[in-house]
Amino acid sequence: MRSAGLALLIISLLSFGGALADSISGGISYSGGAVGNSSFNIASVEEFYEAVSLAGGGLSLQPGFRGTIWPGLATIVIGIDPASGYNIAPINRVKVTGANFTNNTTVRLTRTGQNNIQGNSLTLVSSTEITGNFNIAGAQVGYWNVVVDDGSNNLGSLTNGFEVKTYPYDIAWAINSPNPFDPARESTTIMYKLKKDSEVTILIFSITADLLWKQSYPAGFNGGREGDNSLLWAGYTNFGELISNGVYLVHVLEKASGKTLARGKIAVIRR
């Protein structure tokens, strides 16, 4: 698939090159990694690129490339830096490069069957660069597409451009991110690993052993599947109150045996 995408991109560039030979010079090369299915729509000269590169491999336009990028047409995403992150915490100050970025441009990570991860705190550095944060805590491990949207249904995407990786923490741990968190403003993602598919019950206690929240998850699905699991907790107890500053204890139980599979500690600071 990557080769096919690359071929499409090269063909696309070459065809434009044929039409507007005076405005294109230099070359294009592919150095491995995800490329995506971005297309260049070159109709008039707006900006001049000396070099655009995709960190961690991928597409790079070699120095000397001269092309023209036309505004108001397709949004282009060429690269993302860093191109991978661990699913235990948000990844911040991510640089997305491409073309035709505007103040309305948003960036998200997508993957089939998963909720999109919307970039936040986006900063438009230039029409070719946006920086922002992605909360990939608890995200499913694997490759995600980088999708840039100019707000007018002009999408540019970098297929499998970002890799979410697992972090090798102790299997007896349940961790959460952010930690501490402010339940008045955000939720926290509780994450833990299971050795095998199991029906589990999550218990959250106060430090005086009041059982504040309880939820069960079936085996084989998020919450009860082998490998990484992640749950969102908004900080409301089963007593109907929003939790206060302090620490809350998480126990992940195997429902059938009552055995504690993982434990964690959630901190709350309402700033």
Under DSSP, the state recorded for 30 is: E
Closest CA to 91 of 29, 192, 162: 162
Q: What is the DSSP string of 149-168?
A: E-SSS-EEEEEEEEEEE---
Nearer to other proteins, 111 or 263 (CB): 263
270 binds other proteins (CB under 8 A): yes
Binding mask 27-66 for other proteins (x = CB under 8 A): ----------------------------------------
3-state secondary structure of 7: helix
Near other proteins by CB under 8 A, which window of 5-13, 69-77, 124-132, 255-263?
255-263
259 binds other proteins (CB under 8 A): yes
Structure tokens given for 201 = 């019950």
Q: Which of 14, 207, 232, 234 binds other proteins (CB under 8 A)?
A: 207
120 binds other proteins (CB under 8 A): no
Q: Which of 33, 132, 161, 264 binds other proteins (CB under 8 A)?
A: 264
216 binds other proteins (CB under 8 A): no
Q: Report cis status (omega within 30 of 0) of the bond before 178.
A: yes
Q: Which of residues 79-98 bind other proteins (CB under 8 A)?
A: 85-86, 88-89, 91-92
**Amino acid present at 94:** V
| Sole residue written with tokens 């700033």 | 271
Q: Which of 179, 218, 219, 236 binds other proteins (CB under 8 A)?
A: 179
3-state secondary structure of 20: coil
DSSP bridge pairs for 214:
203
Closest CA to 162 of 180, 138, 146, 182: 146
Under DSSP, the state recorded for 103 is: T
Which positions lie near other proteins, rule CB under 8 A? 85-86, 88-89, 91-92, 137, 167, 169, 173, 175-180, 184, 201, 203, 205-214, 237-247, 249, 251, 253, 255, 257-260, 263-265, 267, 269-271
